[in-house]
Amino acid sequence: MTVRRIMGLETEYGISVPGDPMANPMFLSGQVISVYAAAQGIRSNQSSWDYAFEDPLRDARGWQLDRQSADPSQLTDVEDPTLANVVLTNGARYYVDHAHPEYSSPEVTLPRDAVTWDRAGDAIALESVRLLAARPGQPPVNLYKNNTDGKGQSYGTHENYLMPRRTAFPDIVRHLIPFFVTRQVVCGAGRVGLGVDSRGAGYQISQRADFFETEVGLETTLKRPIINTRDEPHAVADRYRRLHVIIGDANLFDVAGLLKVGTTSLVLGMIEDGYLTQDWSIRRPVAALQSISHDPSLQATVELADGRVMTALDVQWLYLEAAQRWLELRGDDPEPEATTEVMALWGDVLTRLGRDVMSCAGMLDWVTKLQLLEGFRSRDSLAWDDHRLAAVDIQWADVRPEKGLVHRLRDRGRTVDLVTPEQVRVACTTPPDDTRAWFRGTCVRRFGAEVFSASWDSVVFDVPGHTSLQRVPILEPERGTRAQVGTLLEESVDVTALLRGLATPD
C-alpha cells in the first residue's frame, strides 16, 4: 500500500463548565453524548459497545499483561453501564473515556477521508453542546479540541493504522521513532507554556510532547510511550496488526491533519516493504522530542545513532526523499491522486518551514496559532507567561464558532481547507462507503431498535422471535462496503431479512 490503508482517528475533547471548576467531567461527558444520541433517535441503552473481542492488555512484543498488574485506565474492555457509549449512523463510536467525550471516527481508506470524518466529529461535538445548552436550567458546557488543560492534565488524540501482521514489530519501532519525534513540525497543534504543568514561559510546537516519558510501552495515560504496543487488531488477528499511535496532537487545520495520517501511511508502507534499510535512530528520543517541541524556530538539533547532528526538518527530508524513491520503484499505486497530494503537500510544507516558518500560516496549526499569539504579544507587550495568552490558547480550540478562534479564521478565509462544509455535514450521519463502517452505520440507521450492540468487528442484533442474540462478525475491514451490501441493507424490510440475505451465498 501507499497512502491507502485502513485508518481512523480518536479524539478526546476537553470539557469544562465556565465558573464551576468542581463540575463532574464524567457526568457532563455522559450528558454531552446522551443528548446527541437522543436527538439522533439512538437510545442510551441502544447500539452500545460490544466488548466480546476486546483485549487491551495484549502486547505487540509478544506477551499478555496480567490484569492484576494493569493500571485501571488500561482496562478499556470493561463496560460501565453508568457511562454513555453509542454507535452512530456514520459508523463512529461516541463515548465517555477517562472523563472526556471521545469521538472515534469510522474506518476510512484515504487521508482526505480521515480529515473529513475527523471534522465530522468536531461538528458532532458542537451540536452536542448546542443541544445541551437548550435544556432549561442547564449550565453551559464547553468542549475543546485540544490535548491539555494547561494545568498538568493531558488527553489524547490517537491514530490507528492497519498493517500486515507479518511486519516485524522491531522494524516498526526502529523506523517510526525518528519519524514520530520529528513529525510534530508538520502536525503539532502548538501550545503556550513549557512542561507538563505549563509553568515554564514560552511557546512550543506540540501539545503532547512534554507528557511522554519512554520510547516503547503498553500504557496510554501514564508512562506514555512514543510507540504504543497495544496489540488489539479489531480484525483477523493472524493477518492484521493495528498500530495504535498516541503521540499525535488534535488538529484543526486540514493540511496538518492530512499530512499527519498521509505521511505516516507512507512510512508504514516503506517499513512493510522492507525498503527502509538505513538506521536513522535518534539518541535519547524522548529528550529530543521535547527539545524539538520547545524550539518553534526549528533550529534545535538531535544526534543520530551514527553520530550525525540534524534538525527535525533534516530528518523529515530523509523520510520524504526515501518515499519519493520508493514510490518510483513501486509503480503500482492504487490511489495515485491521493498519494500525489500528500507528497506534494509534504514537500511544500517542509520547504516553506525551511525558508520562513510563518509562510505555513493557514496550513499548520502550530504556526497559525503562533502567528496569532505574536500579534497579541506585539499589540499589548505581553510576556509568554501572561495569563491572557494561556486563555487565548484555550479559546483557540473551542468547538463553538462564536468562540473558537480557528472558526473565525476559517470564516475570514485565512485557512487552507481541503474539505467542504457540505462534506462534513454529510459525514456526520453517513459512513464511509468503502469499509465495514458502511455496514455498521447503516445497520444503526436502518435497524437501530434491533441493534443490541456493535464494535469495530461485529454487529449484534436482538432479533424478534429469537431467544439468543445474533452476532454478525465483520473481521475484514474492507468487507461490508456499500458496493457489497448496500443493496441488501436497503432492500431488507427487517433484520430477519437482512440476516437471511447475509447467509445466502453470493
Q: Which amino acid is at 283?
A: R
Question: For the purposes of burial, counting CB atoms within 10 Å of the CB of 23, is it exposed (0-12), middle (13-18) or buried (19 or more)?
Answer: middle
**What's the rounded Cα separation, in Å, for the pair 464 and 469?**
10
- Residue 277 sits at φ, ψ, to 5 deg, of -100, -20
Residue in 124, 174, 167, 139 with CA at minimum distance from that of residue 27: 139
Find out whether 13 and 125 touch, Cβ atoms under 8 Å. yes
305: Cβ–Cβ under 8 A, 6 or more apart, which residues? 279, 281, 282, 283
Pairing of strands 451-455, 48-49: parallel
Residue keyed to cell 436497503: 490
d(CA 161, CA 176): 13
Buried b (16+ CB within 10 A) or exposed e, 289-310: bbbbbbbbeeebebebeeeeeb
Q: Crossing angle, helix 254-272 and helix 336-355, to 10 degrees?
A: 110
Q: What is residue 391's three-state secondary structure?
A: helix
Q: Kind and range of the H or E element at 9?
A: strand 7-12
**144 grid coordinates:** 475543546
C-alpha cell at 411: 470564516
Which residue(s) pair with 102 in the sheet?
12, 95
Please state, in angstroms and rounded to a whole number, the distance separating the CA atoms of residues 264 and 2: 10
Active site residues: 97
Please answer whether residues 459 and 439 qualify as being in contact, where contact means their C-beta atoms are separated by less than 8 angstroms.
yes
Whether residue 400 contacts residue 427, with contact meaning beta carbons closer than 8 Å, is answered with no
Q: Return d(Cα 28, Cα 43) in angstroms, integer.
A: 17
Residue 14 contacts residue 101 (beta carbons within 8 Å): no
